[in-house]
Amino acid sequence: MVVAGVSGVGKTTLARRIAEITGIPHTEIDALFHGPDWTPRPAFVDDVRALVARDTWVTEWQYSDARPLLTARADLLVWLDLPFATATLPRVVARTVRRRLRRERLWNGNVEPPLRTFFTDPEHIVRWSFATRRKYRERIPALRRDLPVVRLRRRRDVERWVAGALTDTVR
């Protein structure tokens, strides 16, 4: 199972909740991708292949090298298509600021870069989230026709799906 959406929308949070409810193991794809100093790990694609070779798994649908592998083996895609200005933007900004101010250690010892890089780095996570938000509306409909997609457009839709359809699958 994969959870799709722009950076900061809550993919990892939802993937963890899915794992807790269903007992399906969650692997955070960012942990597979990022090496020290934010460099891509050379073993990333091999690690994704190993992940999708398992019988059950849940992860986030991202990274151009991983998406085809994830799509080919997924049995469900949950798309977090939440309003950018009122849901995603405040979330990604708050998360980025919190991580930076607390110097939270992320994958392989990485920490968020200084906040000023928002103005200098075109791939800063907040700018990336804004720049890529429309691409999902092109990418997801072009996926495998037989891949079920659950498109959630509001936070309350997410909560209803988790409490309803997802929870019903494990009863």
DSSP string, 112-129: PPPTTHHHH-TT-HHHHH
In this prediction, residues 125-153 reach a mean pLDDT of: 91
Nearest by Cα to 133 from 2, 15, 5:
5
In the chain, where are the structural domains located? 2-158
The owner of tokens 């990418």 is 139
Q: How far apart are CA 69 and CA 165, in angstroms?
A: 26
Nearest by Cα to 145 from 82, 77, 81, 80:
77
Q: Give residue-wise pLDDT tens across range 58-91.
A: 999 999 999 999 999 999 999 999 998 888 899 9
Q: So what's the pLDDT on residue 64? A: 95
Cβ-count burial 60-82 (b if 16+ within 10 Å, e if not) = bbbbeebbebbbebbeebbbbbb
CATH number of the 2-158 domain: 3.40.50.300
Structure tokens at 108: 């392989």
Alpha carbon of 137 to those of 41, 43, 97, 132, 143: distances in Å? 28, 30, 28, 10, 11
Q: So what's the pLDDT on residue 165? A: 83
Task: Give 82's strand partners.
Answer: none
Structure tokens at 93: 């900004």
Overall pTM surpassing 0.85 (yes/no): yes
Percent of the chain past pLDDT 90, that is, above it, reads: 78
